[in-house]
Structure 1
């Protein structure tokens, strides 16, 4: 497709001649030709425009558990893609080669929204995921893809840090069927020091998604030794989730590995993930998971009422299935929060690269 530069809505003119981008709380002030920190929103012809519309670093069919989403059609396939850039500056970024890229040449693949929706259908995917970098920065493309997907009964998934202003937030999440939001820590110190951002806008986004939309919500926290893994912080975080979002929002605690600007930190021990999971369960979170480590117990889903194994997982592979056709525990009848098919699905448990045309 040829159109890669499109107009955007969320900006306004300042008295000093600059324009302010109003997509996220960074509120970048831009002169002609200047790009925001996200890199893909640029002032051109006196307006803020998205310059990566329809472009991608590549397309891949993943298991939905890789997003991670454990309560959104488990075992199903999801067509995943991302672009360049990001509106956060996390020093531990695990996808820094694309999110921190300042080269448009990495966006070698192109697809229209309609092509993406058809590709997902033809690949047998239930959903399309905006992932690898934050879809908030390419929201015009994401929203158009979501509209095309709904025409074919394909769902859309956003993997995001939730760093977005209120007006675009409403437009963005009205188009999204499920979201996994990175709750990176529970202190503003961490967000400011390590991510170049602030905590409160993310908490506001989480409350908005859960209380004001139909978007299914799960949370992920990458635990970094010595930075966001103390008992006190984990207790405060999980208690906030239960009190403000409710006990049914799943939480994923995943392992950090040294990367980009945090190569001096050790990998997260598996015991840390298990400790975080126990703290979450003890504070009332009904479904807490471990990730980036092999932990069948920490990756599986159990009935919060009777303790029965409902969805057995080994890495991203689905094993035993204890739900009835209505998504309830086959043992005691308690409904499991989320979206489920009549039976387990078994998409490939490892990513498969595809071409979209």
Structure 2
């Protein structure tokens, strides 16, 4: 559904989107970097419209530990929904069919989505995941607000790349109980592989943690890209400066989408785990079998 967006202003006969740090300047009829925010005419004015409002591509009841969230109601399930679009272009994307393409979707109005979540007795809440929820902002904000008005104990979770500006983030955070935020690598990694910047993601982690939102962080460990000793040192030092007890998930990479590198080796995962455990209290490994996990995490 097409709906007027939030966080934009006119500039030079175009529209400047200020939702995320790309700050796209969009001409009439065009979309921004995320592919879902379009400049269009409304009466005599140019405005910004969101194209994925209420458009659901995926819905599933998942164990919350799959988000992954290990220290937030880990024995429970959560209803999970996603749309399409993303404000990164990661060549290793695990969900590229909905993040990098306009997938088939079904429109679900705000009230109906809130009803579906609140009536699901097997779930503790609603997780916005699968694609990037921040560029689905208006729907996430409306649904989360509606749910919290009806039941303040119903949980709202975001699984996000953290690439969002401070004002929209702070407007949304009062409705959000927990977030899993990707911390993908160093500045060069973000620039060359994600086509973004590191600093805004670090700002999101700081801000969300400072507002009392439960935070867990995920780093997908890619051989030769973000697994050097120096890179992991910087990531560990940054997270420790926010909160030494913050939960970090170090996940194994498998070839996906356009990145065909070999899967992360067990020894690389073990070295990363041991290095980061010196800086952080809670480090876990993901995308591995229980046997592999035991080997890696054995002290």
TM-score (norm 2): 0.92
CA contact (8 A) 2:219 2:251 kept: yes
Q: Deviations over 1:119-166 (max 9, x none)?
A: 223332002111111110011100111122222331111011111111
How far apart are 1:118 and its partner, in Å? 2.6
How far apart are 1:180 and its partner, in Å? 0.3
How far apart are 1:247 and its partner, in Å? 1.2
Counterpart residue number, 1:12: 9
CA distance in 1, matches of 2:74, 2:109: 27
Counterpart residue number, 1:156: 156
Provide the secondary structure at the position in 2 that maps to 1:174.
helix
CA distance in 2, matches of 1:97, 1:133: 9
Counterpart residue number, 1:168: 168
Counterpart residue number, 2:36: 40
Counterpart residue number, 1:209: 208
Q: Deviations over 1:38-85 (max 9, x none)?
A: 111111211111111111112100000110000110121111111111
From 229, 245, 248, the counterpart of 2:245: 248
CA distance in 1, matches of 2:168, 2:240: 26
Counterpart residue number, 1:334: none
Bigger proportion of residues as helix? 2
Cα distance change, pair 149–273 in 1 and its aligned pair in 2 (3 A): farther
Correspondence 1:229 to 2:227:
yes
CA contact (8 A) 2:248 2:283 kept: yes
CA distance in 1, matches of 2:96, 2:7: 26
Correspondence 1:108 to 2:105:
yes
How far apart are 1:260 and its partner, in Å? 1.5
How far apart are 1:115 and its partner, in Å? 2.2
Q: Which structure would you say has the larger Rg?
A: 1
Correspondence 1:268 to 2:264:
yes
Cα distance change, pair 268–297 in 1 and its aligned pair in 2 (3 A): closer
Q: Deviations over 1:294-340 (max 9, x none)?
A: 136958xx9xxxx9xxxxxxxxxxxxxxxxxxxxxxxxxxxxxxxxx
CA RMSD, Structure 1 to Structure 2 (Å): 1.8
How far apart are 1:231 and its partner, in Å? 1.8
User: Quick check: 87-96 or 109-118, which moved more?
Assistant: 109-118
CA contact (8 A) 1:58 1:107 kept: no
From 289, 293, 296, the counterpart of 2:288: 293
CA contact (8 A) 2:14 2:39 kept: no
CA contact (8 A) 1:162 1:202 kept: yes
CA contact (8 A) 2:6 2:138 kept: no
CA distance in 1, matches of 2:172, 2:29: 26
CA distance in 2, matches of 1:234, 1:68: 20
CA distance in 2, matches of 1:43, 1:22: 13
How far apart are 1:113 and its partner, in Å? 2.7
Provide the secondary structure at the position in 2 that maps to 1:120.
helix
Provide the secondary structure at the position in 1 that maps to 2:175.
coil
- Which consecutive aligned stretches of 4+ in structure 1 deviate over 4 angstroms post-superposition? 296-299
Report matched runs for 1:1-357 at 5 Å.
Answer: 4-14=1-11, 16-45=12-41, 46-101=46-101, 103=102, 106-123=103-120, 124-150=122-148, 151-152=150-151, 153-185=153-185, 187-211=186-210, 213-243=211-241, 245-263=242-260, 265-283=261-279, 285-295=280-290, 298=293
User: Quick check: 221-230 or 170-179, which moved more?
Assistant: 170-179
How far apart are 1:273 and its partner, in Å? 2.2
TM-score (norm 1): 0.77
